[in-house]
Amino acid sequence: MSPQDALGDFLPLSWGRSLALITVAVVVSLAEGHGRLLDPPSRATLWEEKFNFPAYYDEYQGFCGGVDAHWGRFGGRCGVCGDPYFPLPRAHERGGHYYTGTPTRTYRSGSFINVTLRITANHRGWIEFRLCAYDDPEVGDLEYDSSGNLVEVTQECLDKHLMSLEDGRTRFYLPGEFANGDQTIKVRLSEGLTCKNCLFPMEMEYGKLGPRR
């Protein structure tokens, strides 16, 4: 199956130099903090905005199955949507119960966008935003299962497009410990990167002793 065939059921949203984002919230944690994307809404929270999507009531807990699963069983590997690395299909990825392939927002390439997230258990740390286009993937950009079926984009693809913030930095540091609530951050989308569908994860790094992986 070619990448183009595998992506055939994605919605054809493309407005000029635009990015149609399929968003997910990924929490990579040591302390298992809790947070989620509100705008653009993540796959885990889209049901709250569009009620014909399957409800997911643990939307604050996309932390790779917890410390034991993430680091003990899977050696630090995690699904790009915050699910445990195994079993497949992962709940929020292609073939999973909460996957729909629906873009949640469309933006112009290179623009600054407002990203709003909600933190309910703040153990300090930082947040980064990445982007991977499903269109015209390069070798290594997509993950396939043992039968050759598309699973999802890879972390390697996401790492190619680390987003910058309004001040030019790439990391947003959470306020002091126990300072929970909503945070709105200006994020600049990659200039020149266009796609009918992109994956836009929020990756969070927690640690009570400071930001560390």
- Count of C-beta atoms within a 10 Å radius of residue 2: 9
Q: How far is residue 150 from each of residues 16, 90, 97, 144, measured CA to CA in Å?
A: 27, 12, 16, 4
> Rounded to two decimals, what is the model's pTM?
0.75
32-58: average pLDDT: 70
Residue bearing the bigger pLDDT, 16 or 118: 118
- Distance between the two ends of the chain, CA-based, in angstroms? 36
Task: Give me the residue spans of the domains in the chain.
Answer: 3-205
Q: pLDDT band at 129, cuts 50/70/90? A: very high
Beta strand 18-28 with 195-206 is: parallel
Are residues 27 and 64 in contact, defined by beta-carbon separation less than 8 angstroms?
Answer: yes
Q: What is the dihedral of CA 93, 91, 129, 135, to 10 degrees?
A: 10
Q: pLDDT band at 34, cuts 50/70/90? A: low
